Chains A and B, each alone.
Chain A
Amino acid sequence: MTQREALQQQAEQRQQVLDAFSHHLLVCAGLGCLHNDEIIKALRKEIAAQGLEQQILVRKAGCMGLCALGPLVLVLPDAVYYQTVTPQDAGEIVAALGKEPVQRLLLPADLPFFSKQQKKVLALSGRIDPENIDDYLAAGGYASAVNAITAMSPPEILRIVGESGLRGRGGAGYPTGLKWATVAQAAGERKYLICNADEGDPGAFMDRSVLESTPHAVLEGMLIAAYAVGAHTGFIYVRAEYPLAVKRLQLAIREAERNRLLGQGVCGTSFDFTVQLRLGAGAFVCGEETALIESIEGRRGTPRPKPPYPAENGLWGSPTLINNVETYANIPLIIARGAAWFAAQGTEQSKGTKVFALTGRIKHAGLVEVPMGMTLREIVFEIGGGIPDGHAFKAVQTGGPSGGCIPAEHLDAPISYESLSALGSIMGSGGMIVMDDTSNMVDIVKYFMEFCMEESCGKCVPCRVGTAQIHSLLQKFCDRQASADDLAALETLCDLVKTTSLCGLGQSAPNPVLSTLKYFRQEYLDRMADPSGPHQEGQL
């Protein structure tokens, strides 16, 4: 029996096991659903007490998205969601199986949070047990990788990824196919693959959730990429602050190795690919690819000037492919369904779907996946349910601490790399933080600048000193001691830091200031020293 057939059989066996149960209770076991382990225990205890172990299966699952109303429990095949479940609800939930659902806990079936989304990357998230490779196999997992490695040539894969129009989901939106082709063509005996899971943007948890929910999808994407570019060693650089993601990745790597999906002779072919984890250590700048490489090499995570790009001269001087978690997670889908299927979603230049972490002053905070081109208004007001407690929307900040703040008048802008950039923001990795009328923009921007200042590696002068200078200027505004000169200096410094900094962190650090100077200038003016009052400039 070939490896391919063996995996097929394993998947079928698992499916038979799953099919043997009349009901499945999937409990979200993501970081965001607190006490999920107790809920699982309570459900199992209840089922055992009623002797229903053969009929009802309780499964640990990945993130279901609506973290604001967690812990969530999904009942299959009914596709009923229960919200804010506690262990005490176990009896009622089990009793209601096959009958009327528990109204008290029921999430409305037509909630736009679910109906407006198009889950592709997240399709299996919350539907399978992330700690069980058989669950992933049964859901069709690894079929793309096996097919790619046993039946496709690397150029064929490069062509499909290129034609799909997929762009890097880590922030800059570089065409993935182009990057892969560069690495594939780069001269060098040894090539490396890196998965950037150093999701450092405060307010963003897309990668954490994908890693916690479908770690095998990321491994599968990496495997396909490695085969396509000719890399035999891969690294996943993941934040140490994500212990659950780390644990599930470790487990996933072990299980993939045991099933000969990683290691020597993948799928019985002569292709070798091993994956190792590297833990980040709390430095936002390591999300920048060259800094990440420095960090894997055991050094201070300071970025290197580009060019040379990692695709030509990366880890230990070898051609290196770096993509982020969500980018890799898209690959198995593209291989399975084809470039045309992927390219049919999204906008002309930004194809596919994008996962966003919707947080801040919003009703339905959580993880969402929408096609590119959806408007911010739809995301915030329909999927997100709008602003709670009767407050008014003020701005949505996309792209993490170095993204821009987009005001209400641009809520109808469609989400794409181009449109966000035109609005003075960035796609970033997908953080989306909603602010309402209780937020003061100058305070918020000072918070972002403090973040950038503290996370600046200190290597280049404009970012090291410039962010600190901008931060003190913003402090002057907060203290109502700023002058017109300070406003001018703020603009000069932002331009300097943006234009001359060495890496993306510095180059984008002024974005929050620049976007709020554009859209919320009055808030700066309101916080200047009273020109008729005593001259305060000397006060530092």
Chain B
Amino acid sequence: MTPIPPHPPETAQTLNLTINGRQVSAQAGETILEAARANDIFIPTLCFLEGLSAQGSCRLCMVEIAGSAKLHPACVTRIQEGMEVTTETERLRDYRRNIIELLFSERNHVCAVCVASGHCELQDLASELGVDHISFPCRYPTLAVDASHRRFVLDHNRCILCTRCVRVCAEIEGAHTWDVKNRGIRSLIMADFDAPWGDSETCTGCGKCVHVCPTGALFEKGLAVAEMRKQRPALPTLVANRATEQR
């Protein structure tokens, strides 16, 4: 994880750049994503969540920068004076669609029976990007559902490994109950020493992980299809409050 250092306020300097041909200005140290969002320019994201460290892993926020042949993840790329950013091209859209399709193909996403249907970022992005079928063969891995916790459930079938849960637990709650085990295509979210969630000795039961989870992988017990509405905790406020209290 790469925590982006906080912007140095004293040296804050306004930079001018263009995004999709539009002149915008933003503070030095801000990322392309921050500058775009401040100007209501939509860039799709999944792993990014304001208030958590950005890790640039879902690759949905890739944008083009004039003068560079490579694509750049908007969530971790800092703006520069005179930068010309393009967030929407047919090529970018194709890559984004392919990435969404890869995610759907990786595990067993069945929107029709998912608690988070209608409130799921993966489902929304598929819609937004016009993904109307999955062109790659689905892998159909056999994955467990961990319902050992008193209040919450972890369904690996719906997990996209964005690690928001890992980061919110480590960075905000300070418990670091979650982490990733194994690697590559065999990666899985797990608690403690791979314990059932209900047996975790570090989990505080705060539920932040459930509410930052973009899909139905983490949800509250007792809910039926489409009933799990995620209430994103106001993470930047939490961070700011804590900093004030601890001063």
Contact = CB atoms under 8 A, between A and B. Distances in A.
> Do A and B touch directly, given a CB cutoff of 8 Å in the complex?
yes
Interface of A: 283, 300, 304-305, 307, 453-462, 464-469, 472, 489, 492-493, 496, 499-502, 540
A459 B55 contact: yes
Interface in B42-60: 55-59
Contacts of A460: 56-59
Chain B contact residues: over half helix, strand or loop, or mixed? loop
A458 B59 contact: no
Nearest to B3: A317
Interface string B70-93: 110100111000000000000000
B231 interface: no
B161 interface: yes
A461 B184 contact: no
18 contacts: A305-B55, A455-B184, A458-B161, A458-B180, A458-B186, A458-B187, A459-B55, A461-B57, A461-B59, A461-B99, A464-B161, A464-B184, A469-B136, A469-B137, A499-B95, A500-B59, A501-B59, A502-B73
Nearest to B97: A496
Contacts of A466: 102
Contact of B71 (A457, A461, A500): A500
Could you say which interface size class chain B belongs to?
20 to 34
Contacts of A496: 95, 98-99, 102
B62 interface: yes
A454 B183 CA distance: 8
The 5 closest A-B pairs by CB, nearest first: A458-B187, A305-B56, A456-B184, A465-B102, A468-B185
A97 to B, nearest CB: 55
Given A461-B57, A462-B59, A468-B184, 11 more contacts: A300-B183, A305-B56, A453-B185, A458-B161, A458-B182, A458-B184, A464-B161, A467-B185, A469-B136, A472-B137, A493-B136
B176 to A, nearest CB: 12
A462 B182 CA distance: 17
B143 to A, nearest CB: 14
Contacts of B180: 300, 458
Interface of B: 2, 55-59, 62, 70-71, 73, 76-78, 95, 98-99, 102-103, 105-106, 135-137, 139, 160-161, 180, 182-187
A489 B136 contact: yes
Contacts of B183: 283, 300, 456-458
A459 B137 contact: no
A471 B135 CA distance: 16
Chain A contact residues: over half helix, strand or loop, or mixed? helix
A116 B178 CA distance: 57
Contacts of A459: 55, 57
Contacts of A489: 135-136
Given A305-B2, A500-B59, A465 B103 contact: yes
Contacts of A502: 56-57, 59, 73
Contacts of B160: 461
A454 B182 CA distance: 10
Contacts of B76: 305
Contacts of A462: 59, 99, 102
A466 B185 CA distance: 9
Contacts of A469: 102, 105, 136-137
A465 B137 contact: no
